[in-house]
Structure 1
Amino acid sequence: MKNGNDTKNNSQPTLFERLGKTEGIASIVDDVIETHMNNPVIQKRFLPLKEQPEHLALIRQHTIDFFSAGSGGQAQYSGKEMPAAHKGMNIRPEEYMEVVDDIMLILDKHQIDDDSKKDVLAILWSLKGMIVAQ
């Protein structure tokens, strides 16, 4: 299905651009981390990071780079592959859904358009099997 503005794929902004480039993605990531820390279902996984500021900063930067690179930006992701990064965490499907819900809530807060939210959701669904129950 073609959009009326769709003359060439190159004329469409990338997801990276639609999310506000590096600055927008960083702001989204910061809000998502804060939301996770306040979510009673998953906060036990995130609150300990407050006591490890260097580790939290590294996770934050890896998340920014991961979404920047995966959405069309020029960033290089240097973190672990998803299964290795989540190995031993035994994340339950319910917890993953809370993470997805938090991200969607923050995308709404940042007034991200519906098509971009659908693109982010597709990325999150593609990662689920690499993160849940590792």
Structure 2
Amino acid sequence: MALISDDVVLVEDWPGDPVAAADLLRGWLVEYRITLAALERVASRPGQGVASVFRFGENFGCWQGLLAALSIPHTLPTPQCWQKGLVVPSDGPDPKARSLAVARRMFPSVDLHRKKDHGKADALLLALHAKNAHKPGG
């Protein structure tokens, strides 16, 4: 999860459970004026296992529930939508490497040195997309 404003960039790994995620979001709500969140509109893909797809959907629903419970308005852009103009094939050999490369370039102060930080990179880029797409004139 990531928060981006004109003067703040925060990013956190999934804290482990929905209660901890809600606590983290509540803390951000106390400190910052959150006007919009972005949650990637996702779908299962061919070849994914049943258990994997179930966890994937469960996670998506968890985030929708957290945002609704905390009255945080949100948008649901597809990966193609939020990546357009931001992430291009020349940024790396695969989607995870590409989002890491772009996020490292755009947010040099954020520690994204681990390969597994691709989730943080996606969160940052998704938040940036929402910020840019929903600002006046955006």
Task: Give the structure-2-normalised TM-score.
Answer: 0.28
Q: Which has the higher strand share?
A: 2
Q: Which has the higher helix share?
A: 1
